[in-house]
Structure 1
Amino acid sequence: MKRRLILHPPSHPMFLVLLLFIAIAPLIWLYFIPKAIALAFLPLGLGVHVGYTIAVLMVLLSMALSPVNVVLMEVPRQVAVPDFEYVSIFGIPYPTLRVRYVMSSTVVAVNLGGAVIPLAISILVVSLLAVHQSGAQGLGVLVGVAALVTVVSHLSSRIVPGVGIVVPALIPPLVSALSAITLSAALGVMSLAPSIAYAGAVIGTLLGADVLNLVKHFDKLQSPMVSIGGAGTFDGIYLSGIIALFLALILT
C-alpha cells in the first residue's frame, strides 16, 4: 500500500475560534484603540483628526518596534556554576559537588514599542495638560495617580529569577482608572480623567514595576538580559495604559 500524507485541518470549535480571533485581532486593535485614544485626547485640545492620527501612529509604531530593544548598559555579575570534582579515597573516585563562580554580565535595555512609545504619548499628555486651562488641576491629579500606581505596582510585582519582573495585569490599570476618576471628579476636571488614567498607568507601572525593582533587586533577576517594556505590545507598561484609558472612558 502506498503511503499517503493526509492533511487534516483543525476542526475543534474552540481552536477555530482562536484562529479567527488571531486573524481579526490586529484589525480590532487598529479600529478601537485609535478611536479611544482620540476621544481621550479631545478634552486636551487636540482635534479629532489630529488625535486619531497620533493614535494610529502610536499603535502601528508600537507593533513595528516591539522587537527592538535599545541597550542602555551592561552590568558585570558573578554567576554560581555547579561543578563536579572527583576525590580519590583509597583508589576509589568519589564525586564531590563544588560551586565555582564565573564572570558574566546582564544587559539592561529598553523596548521601543513596549516602553518608549507609551512614555512618549504620556509626555505628550503632560505637555497638553501644562497648557490646558485646567492644567494645574490636571497635573495635580496626574501626579497623584502616577504616585499611587507606582506604589501599588511595586508592591504587587515580584521577581522571577531568569524571567524578569512580573506584575498582575489588571491591578495597575484598575488603580489608575479609579484614582483618576475619583481625583478628577473632586477637582472638577472629569473630562481629563481618561488621558490622565493612561499617562498615570504608564508612568506608574514604569517606575514601580520596572525602575524601582531594577534598582533594589537587580541581583535577584539572574538573567542575561533585562528589557524595560520587553514584551512590546503585550508588556505591562503598554497594556496598563490602554486598559486604564478604556476603563476610564467606560466608567465616565
Structure 2
Amino acid sequence: MKRRLILHPPSHPMFLVLLLFIAIAPLIWLYFIPKAIALAFLPLGLGVHVGYTIAVLMVLLSMALSPVNVVLMEVPRQVAVPDFEYVSIFGIPYPTLRVRYVMSSTAVAVNLGGAVIPLAISILVVSLLAVHQSGAQGLGVLVGVAALVTVVSHLSSRIVPGVGIVVPALIPPLVSALSAITLSAALGVMSLAPSIAYAGAVIGTLLGADVLNLVKHFDKLQSPMVSIGGAGTFDGIYLSGIIALFLALILT
C-alpha cells in the first residue's frame, strides 16, 4: 500500500478567513503603518523618505524586540506560602494549615519593543515640535493630550495579581486622537494632530498605566517580574500610539 499525504484544510468559512488574515496581516501591517506614520511626520518637517525609513524601523524593531525585557532593578518582597504543621493532641498528630512568609524579589524591567521604541519616537516628535514654527502651540497641545490620556489610562487600567498591569487597548488612543484633534483645531495646528496623538497616547499610557500603578500598587502585583510596556501594556502603549495616529489621520 502506497503512503499518501492528505491535506485537509478547515472546511468552515470562518476558519479559512482567519487563516487568510493571519497570512496577510504582517504584509498589511508593514505596508500601511509606515506610510501612515510617514504621512503624520510630514508636517513636522521630515521628508517622505526619511519619515518612511523611521517608520519601517520603528515597526520592525517594536515587533522584533517585544519579547526583550531589560531588568532595571529588583525589589525584595515577602511571599505568603501555605504550609502544614502537625499539632500533637493526646499523642495523635493533626495536620494544621499555616501560612509562612519567605523573602523573594520582583524584577522591575522595561520592554524594548513595547516601551523604549515608542518612547524614542515620541521624543523625536517632541524634538521636532520644539523647532517647528508652531512649536509652542504644538507642545501645549501635546502636554494637554498626554495629561488627559494619563488620567484616563490610569483610571481604566487594573492590577491583575501574578500577571501585571492591564489597560484597555482602545480607550487611550481614542481619547488621545479626539483630544489632539480638538485642541489642535482650537490652536490652529490641525496638521500636527496625528503626530501629537501618537506621542500623547504613548506618553500618557506609559505614565498612567505603568508608572503611576507601579508607584501606588506595587505590592498588589505579586509577580516575579513587572515589565514596563510589556505583557498587558504592550498593546496599551505600542498599539495606542499607532491607533491614535490612524484615528487622527482619518478624522482630519
Q: Which moved more, 1:53-62 or 1:8-17?
A: 8-17
Do 2:166 and 2:233's aligned partners in 1 also have CA atoms closer than 8 Å?
no
Do 1:114 and 1:232's aligned partners in 2 also have CA atoms closer than 8 Å?
no
Identity within the alignment, %: 100
SS of the aligned residue for 1:110 comes to strand
Alignment correspondent of 1:90: 90
SS of the aligned residue for 1:32 comes to helix
5 Å matches for 1:200-211?
200-211=200-211
Do 2:37 and 2:245's aligned partners in 1 also have CA atoms closer than 8 Å?
yes
What's the offset of the Cα at 1:3? 12
1:110-162 superposed Cα distances (whole Å, 9 cap, x missing partner): 11111100000000000000000000000000000000000110111110100
1:144-197 superposed Cα distances (whole Å, 9 cap, x missing partner): 000000011011111010011111111100110000000000000000000000
Do 1:160 and 1:166's aligned partners in 2 also have CA atoms closer than 8 Å?
yes
What's the offset of the Cα at 1:233? 9.6
What's the offset of the Cα at 1:95? 1.7
Alignment correspondent of 2:100: 100
1:96-121 superposed Cα distances (whole Å, 9 cap, x missing partner): 11000001110010111111000000
Whole-angstrom distance in 2 between the partners of 1:222 and 1:209 = 17
Alignment correspondent of 1:232: 232
SS of the aligned residue for 1:80 comes to strand
Q: Which moved more, 1:79-88 or 1:214-223?
A: 79-88
What's the offset of the Cα at 1:4? 10
What's the offset of the Cα at 1:35? 0.6
Instruction: Report the TM-score when normalising by structure 1.
Output: 0.95
Instruction: Count how many residue pairs are aligned between Structure 1 and Structure 2.
Output: 252
Do 2:84 and 2:95's aligned partners in 1 also have CA atoms closer than 8 Å?
yes
Alignment correspondent of 1:71: 71
Whole-angstrom distance in 2 between the partners of 1:83 and 1:68 = 35
Do 2:37 and 2:52's aligned partners in 1 also have CA atoms closer than 8 Å?
yes
Q: Which moved more, 1:82-91 or 1:178-187?
A: 82-91
What's the offset of the Cα at 1:11? 2.4
Do 2:145 and 2:197's aligned partners in 1 also have CA atoms closer than 8 Å?
yes
Whole-angstrom distance in 2 between the partners of 1:83 and 1:200 = 48
1:30-59 superposed Cα distances (whole Å, 9 cap, x missing partner): 011001000100100111111111100100
Q: C-alpha root-mean-square deviation of aligned residues, in Å?
A: 2.0
Whole-angstrom distance in 2 between the partners of 1:8 and 1:81 = 49
Alignment correspondent of 2:114: 114
What's the offset of the Cα at 1:5? 9.3
Whole-angstrom distance in 1 between the partners of 2:191 and 2:3 = 68
SS of the aligned residue for 1:162 comes to coil
Summarize the Cα distance change of 1:90–1:115 in structure 2 as closer, same or farther, 3 Å threshold: same
Summarize the Cα distance change of 1:233–1:93 in structure 2 as closer, same or farther, 3 Å threshold: closer
Alignment correspondent of 1:34: 34
SS of the aligned residue for 2:6 comes to coil
Do 1:111 and 1:232's aligned partners in 2 also have CA atoms closer than 8 Å?
no
Summarize the Cα distance change of 1:7–1:91 in structure 2 as closer, same or farther, 3 Å threshold: farther
Instruction: Report the TM-score when normalising by structure 2.
Output: 0.95
Runs of 5+ consecutive residues of structure 2 not aligned to the other structure: none
What's the offset of the Cα at 1:9? 3.3
